[in-house]
Amino acid sequence: MRVDNIFLAIIVCIFVAILNGVDCRADVIKVEPEKIDIGAFYHGTTLKVSGYVPSDVEIVVRFKGISHDVHLKRKGKIFGLLWMNIDPVTFKETPNAFLVYASSADTLKLLGLESLANEVQVETRAKIDKKQLFREFLKLKKSEELYGEFLGRVKVDKIDDTKKAFSVNLDIPARLTPGEYKVQVFTVKNGQVMSHNEKVVPVKLVGFPAFLSSLAFNHGGWYGVIATLIAIMAGLAMGVIFGGKGGAH
């Protein structure tokens, strides 16, 4: 009898989904396009993330990159006069991209940039506040447009009393490295994460950038020759364009 009830429930769910165009799972996400190709004319792109979640939750969508260690130098004054690089600082397990789109300010505090403090380890020999170093690191990444927080861009449409649809456009920066990135969708209720769903978005070089990368790693000599020829041709082109403007001084 129990098996019959389960089977009947599945049939009803499928039938309702066909009529309403709604997936029966609690949290469903779709990412378009499903991959990012970096070609010669790539200057960033847009990922559209959409799906369905329970009607009583807030939504956070994150684009998270590959974790790696970042080695930097802390600047300071020598003898109180000259600014120089004085101390090495390493930020361990740092995602190379971290963009957060949230439907409310409270969820940004929970899953936004500050949440990385629980993942990233700051290593330095200097006796300095590591929390301050981390905040300065966030400022650097935000200036490079690789990190960011965005509020109010998640669009929500109520379907019924139990479910709502959402969509958001993620502005993907130009300075991406090849690898596998994650689009993460979190639902939050009363300050607690209720669910977490994610999809992998491959990022790869195509066309001429892929050709140059292959040469650099597999045929270093030819890569040097081609790079030199490109530099010479660029110099000649600049000479043709600006050669008639002004003279030597």
Average pLDDT for consecutive 10-residue bins of the chain (249 residues)? 48 46 54 92 93 93 93 66 68 94 91 92 84 91 94 91 93 92 95 93 82 60 65 73 56
Whether pTM > 0.85 for this model: the answer is: no
Q: What are the angstrom distances between the C-alpha of 10 and each of 5, 7, 14?
A: 9, 5, 6
Query: What's residue 225's pLDDT?
Result: 65
Query: What's residue 86's pLDDT?
Result: 66
Query: What's residue 201's pLDDT?
Result: 95
Query: What's residue 10's pLDDT?
Result: 46
CATH number listed for the domain at residues 26-204 = 2.60.40.10
Buried b (16+ CB within 10 A) or exposed e, 107-128: bbebbbbebbeeebebeeeeee
For 72-116, what is each residue's pLDDT tens digit? 876 655 655 555 556 788 999 999 999 999 998 889 989 999 999
Q: Where are the domains of the chain?
A: 26-204
Query: What's residue 129's pLDDT?
Result: 82
Cα 39 vs. chain centroid, distance in angstroms?
A: 18
| DSSP annotation of 80 | T
Query: What's residue 196's pLDDT?
Result: 92
